[in-house]
Chains A and B, each alone.
Chain A
Amino acid sequence: MTRKSKIFSTVDEIVADIRDGASIMFGGFGGAGFPNNLIQGLARKGAKNLSVISNNCGTGDGELGILFKNRQIRRVTAAFPGPGATYFQEQFDKGEVELELVPQGILCERMRAHGAGIPAFFSPVGVGTDVAKGKEERVIRGKRHILEESIGADYAFIKAHRADALGNLVFRKGARNFNPVMATAAKTTLVEVEEIVEVGSLDPEAIVTPFIFVHRIVVVQGLRYV
């Protein structure tokens, strides 16, 4: 049996059904692995009142910056919003955008847990800090831990280097970062890739994200904001 094609011909088509109020994860770290074409498509589409999950909050107009500039984002869960996230920082200081600040490894693990069907877990990270406020604390094996709930989203926007037509993905160097875990934690995963190859031509040992986690693919030249 062959599977229905996941390949979209344009960025605008792949984001066409995203509605106001959607929750979306965005991969990327340190300028690498950002789904910048998908972000630009979402900026053109104009969906508002978004709840987003991303390590940071953009660099000027680049990366997530354009979505803050357009005031499309209502709430953000992030580990390091970043000094370069000028539009976010302005809106945060005026109380116009809601922020949940999360330790980076815990952000990863909350998404990993969601993708793996685990609703919550205990962690030692953040014990005795602002991060622990309002969370259940328990001593396990003699050490203090706090309860962290898993986190999912309607969509994940990710960037991979190469896909096959089924949606198996390989990444490039440090551009892998948050992309694979986000692919597991969203109901619908959209991926932009530089190249699509024939099914069977990727080395099965080298596939990082198996196609089961990927729903839509678009081929487009990567965009980078340095």
Chain B
Amino acid sequence: MSKPRLTREQIAQRAALELPDGACVNLGWGIPNLTAAYVPKGITIYFHSENGILGMGPRAKKGEEDFDLVDAMKVPVTLIPGASFFAQEAAHVMTRGGHLDVCMLGGLQVSEKGDLANWRVPGAKGAGGIGGAMDIAVGARRLIVTMEHTSKDGARKIVKRCDYPLTAVECVDTIVTDLAVIDVTPDGLQLREVAPGFTPEEVQALTEPKLHYSGKVPEMLASAR
């Protein structure tokens, strides 16, 4: 079974469609950060950064960088009209206090109940790092996790119970992967879309908990490569 799955860029592109016009949004490291480039034309998103920015625009052009104006990944960015600066604790009043409309984080494991593990692989070298992920996961009005559906060695990442160190419990609303869009609901995981060329049964085989769906499951939009 080596059909092509979606690329990381395509996951980001699909995830960008989840952002409503005018939303205040925080994007985490990895695939979430790629999402900013795929916001559809005509939609304005106020991107938030933990170092105290609301209203980040695209990355700064080469030669025009201001290294005091960087996102949480240290990348020089620009501002859009209406942007503001504030301190780190105010940035986290926004995360933890439930003021951000949508947040996106990468994931190592997501459980059936929406528990998220995303900051440490057990047994890995080094100290690991939590950063802002726990504050974001707890406070986001809507939390979307973007990730590959399975790990590099083929292990399932959507599981009944996370065995990696948790970021937060019962926090994930939607999972966008290279194989599917899945909503976490009180009645279990709802399979909303599948990647082009994949069947719900194939996605289920790579997902530990039961996926609920009925009738024909629509295909994920995927044009970028």
Contacts and interface: CB of A to CB of B under 8 A. Distances in A.
Interface of A: 29-33, 55-56, 78-83, 88-89, 92-93, 99, 101-106, 108-109, 111-112, 123-131, 171-181, 208, 224, 226
A129 B168 contact: yes
B130 A103 contact: yes
Residue from A108, A172, A174 having most chain B Cβ neighbours under 10 A = A174
Interface stretch (B14-22, B35-43, B83-91, B189-197): B83-91
B88 A108 contact: yes
Contacts of A30: 51, 70-74
Given A32-B68, A174-B53, A181-B88, A99 B168 contact: no
B186 to A, nearest CB: 16
Contact of B134 (A33, A125, A173, A208): A125
B69 interface: yes
Interface of B: 49-53, 66-74, 85-89, 91-92, 95-96, 115, 125-135, 138-139, 165-169
23 contacts: A30-B72, A33-B51, A81-B129, A83-B126, A89-B127, A101-B130, A103-B133, A104-B88, A104-B132, A105-B96, A105-B134, A108-B88, A108-B92, A109-B92, A125-B96, A125-B138, A125-B139, A127-B168, A128-B115, A131-B130, A174-B49, A208-B87, A226-B67
B41 to A, nearest CB: 27
Nearest to A128: B169
Contact of B69 (A112, A126, A174): A174
Nearest to B169: A128
Contacts of A56: 129
Contact of A31 (B74, B95, B134): B74
A97 to B, nearest CB: 9
Contacts of A109: 89, 92, 96
A185 to B, nearest CB: 10
A89 B72 CA distance: 20
